[in-house]
């Protein structure tokens, strides 16, 4: 898991505390309307009990982090992440809305409204809270199948009607052994009856032990012509400190072995030719390639060495930055499939328009992109990492039909 300095964690705790102090100040303008002193006291005590508890838990987790077993580290971090977001964001909105409401009220009336300021002010805080709660407890496992059809002029006739399913970013450690939940995704995938299943990386958060118990679940995935996969940045064990280089390598080898155990051909800077009725396409897979601070293990030229003469190629590359960095205009690869961004697990999607804060970091972050006759599809991921929820960015199963 990513490590943050104590100074960074301290700044986070101070930010939470500052927002809570301001929120408490404005809360008093609402609670003063209550006639019961005991109710006011109960609200104030509950407010600060939660604040002190949250800030204390954040600091304590950082102080004791290295002494906590890795399995519990992931659970505690994601739980605190969820609590912090569900507390911080609604209060931040609340402290922004309340002053505006009060100013607007006084601008048009000499008396403070007993409806507009208290009711609308509280709703401005509670509605975001309930939305975030929904994202955590409901939306993060509401798997969505996204269908699209792509036409390629150089696709061999034998592969007309080919159906591929892409999945990505399972982050199995975050599922905390909820096999029954993932089974729902497996049923949706198998119902599509794909010719190929492509997995585009980040099987785990960091550790090989995260795959334990998952073999029987992944064994149920069915594809008529094959299952292929690549590695993501989280699959290398780079986000943890290891006692020895061998321990890290053993962890990595265990993760790679799991792909074979579940019937996926893991492509490590290599390609496989798929033949049908005397015609062929190539499935190319590279190791993770990203812009710093992400490492560039991928070697696209090495992966293409044996298939340069195959006209139609599909590339599996975890990080969508790779498409603009080395693929588009530089190769004849027709379709690149990526993941990595999760769509930041939060965003807005309205018909043909979508937005997420992640767009300011990644040019290509979710959905289909094209340039000339080359396509990139960025899967939003099946799992989650960090914030334990999905807000307007449901976990995705991508179904692509060739024509």
**What is the reported pLDDT for 101?**
74
pLDDT range class, residue 114, cuts 50, 70, 90: low
CA nearest neighbour of 170 among 213, 225, 210: 210
pLDDT range class, residue 125, cuts 50, 70, 90: confident
- Tell me the mean pLDDT in the region 91-120: 70
- Report pTM: 0.90
**What is the reported pLDDT for 335?**
98
**What is the reported pLDDT for 79?**
87
CA nearest neighbour of 58 among 25, 104, 12: 12
- Tell me the mean pLDDT in the region 213-236: 97
Please say whether the dihedral angle defined by the alpha carbons of residues 114, 120, 124 and 126, taken in this order, is positive or negative.
Answer: positive
2-16, 153-167, 264-278, 357-371: which has the minimum mean pLDDT? 2-16
Cα separation, 369 vs 262, whole angstroms? 31
Residue 259 tokens read as 């792909």
CA 83 to chain centre: 18
Residue 296 tokens read as 């560039």
Residue 393 tokens read as 């960015």
Q: What are phi and psi of 171, to 5 degrees?
A: 45, 65
33-42, 65-74, 111-120: which has the minimum mean pLDDT? 111-120
Whether pLDDT at 115 is above 50: yes
* Candidates 3.30.1240, 3.60.21, 3.40.50, 3.30.70; CATH matching 144-402: 3.60.21
Whole-Å CA distances, 296 to 230, 299, 300, 352: 14, 8, 11, 33
Strands (E), 151-303: 163-167, 196-200, 226-230, 265-266, 270-276, 279-285
Task: Please count the CA atoms within 13 angstroms of the CA of 316 that sit on its side-chain side.
Answer: 32
**What is the reported pLDDT for 289?**
97
Cα separation, 268 vs 260, whole angstroms? 13
DSSP label of 342: G
36-40, 94-98, 132-136, 369-373: which has the minimum mean pLDDT? 94-98
- Tell me the mean pLDDT in the region 204-219: 96
Going from N- to C-terminal start, the domains of the chain cover 6-137, 144-402
| Choice between 121 and 159, residue whose per-residue pLDDT is larger | 159
Instruction: Using a pLDDT cut of 70, give the percent of the chain over it.
Output: 95
Whether pLDDT at 252 is above 50: yes
Cα angle for residues 38, 39, 42 (degrees, 5° grid):
85
| Choice between 240 and 310, residue whose per-residue pLDDT is larger | 310
**What is the reported pLDDT for 117?**
64
**What is the reported pLDDT for 113?**
54
| Choice between 29 and 229, residue whose per-residue pLDDT is larger | 229
Mean pLDDT, rounded, of the chain: 92
- Tell me the mean pLDDT in the region 154-177: 96
Whether pLDDT at 231 is above 70: yes
Instruction: Using a pLDDT cut of 90, give the percent of the chain over it.
Output: 78
Whether pLDDT at 147 is above 60: yes
Say how many residues make up the chain. Answer: 403
Whether pLDDT at 1 is above 50: no
DSSP label of 219: T
Query: Tell me: the pLDDT tens digits for 44-75?
Result: 999 999 999 999 999 999 898 878 887 788 88
β-strand 270-276 against 313-316: which pairing, if any? unpaired
Please say whether the dihedral angle defined by the alpha carbons of residues 292, 200, 383 and 149, taken in this order, is positive or negative.
Answer: positive
**What is the reported pLDDT for 109?**
53
**What is the reported pLDDT for 52?**
95
């Amino acid at each position: 898991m990513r490590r943050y300095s104590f100074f960074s964690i301290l700044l986070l705790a101070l930010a939470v505390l500052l927002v809570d102090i301001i929120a408490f100040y404005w809360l008093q303008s609402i609670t003063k309307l209550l006639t019961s002193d005991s109710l006011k006291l109960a609200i104030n005590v509950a407010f600060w009990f939660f604040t002190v508890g949250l800030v204390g838990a954040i600091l304590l987790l950082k102080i004791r982090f290295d002494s906590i077993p890795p399995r519990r580290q992931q659970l505690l971090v994601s739980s605190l992440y969820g609590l912090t977001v569900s507390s911080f964001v609604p209060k931040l909105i609340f402290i922004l809305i309340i002053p505006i409401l009060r100013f607007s009220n006084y601008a048009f009336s000499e008396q403070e409204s007993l409806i507009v300021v208290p009711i609308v002010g509280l709703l401005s805080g509670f509605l975001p809270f309930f939305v975030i709660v929904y994202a955590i407890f409901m939306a993060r496992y509401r798997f969505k199948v996204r269908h699209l059809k792509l036409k390629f002029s150089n696709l061999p006739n034998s592969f007309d009607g080919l159906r591929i399913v892409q999945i990505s970013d399972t982050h199995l450690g975050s599922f905390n052994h909820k096999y029954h939940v993932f089974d729902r995704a497996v049923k949706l995938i198998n119902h599509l009856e794909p010719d190929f299943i492509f997995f585009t990386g980040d099987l785990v958060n960091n550790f090989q032990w995260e795959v334990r118990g998952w073999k029987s679940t992944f064994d149920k995935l069915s594809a008529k012509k094959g299952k292929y996969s690549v590695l993501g940045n989280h699959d290398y064990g780079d986000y943890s400190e290891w006692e020895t280089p061998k321990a890290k390598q053993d962890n990595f080898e265990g993760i790679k072995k799991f792909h074979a155990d579940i019937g996926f051909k893991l492509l490590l800077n290599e390609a496989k030719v798929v033949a049908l009725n005397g015609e062929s396409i190539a499935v190319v897979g590279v190791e993770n390639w990203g812009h710093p601070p992400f490492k560039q293990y991928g070697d696209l030229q090495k992966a293409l060495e044996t298939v340069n003469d195959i006209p139609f190629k599909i590339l599996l590359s975890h990080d969508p930055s790779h498409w603009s960095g080395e693929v588009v205009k530089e190769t004849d690869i027709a379709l690149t499939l990526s993941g990595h961004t999760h769509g930041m697990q939060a965003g807005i999607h309205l018909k043909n328009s979508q937005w997420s804060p992640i767009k300011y970091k990644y040019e290509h972050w979710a959905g289909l992109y094209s340039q000339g006759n080359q396509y990139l599809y960025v899967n939003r991921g099946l799992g989650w990492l960090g914030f334990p929820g999905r807000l307007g960015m449901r976990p995705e199963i991508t179904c692509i039909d060739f024509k």
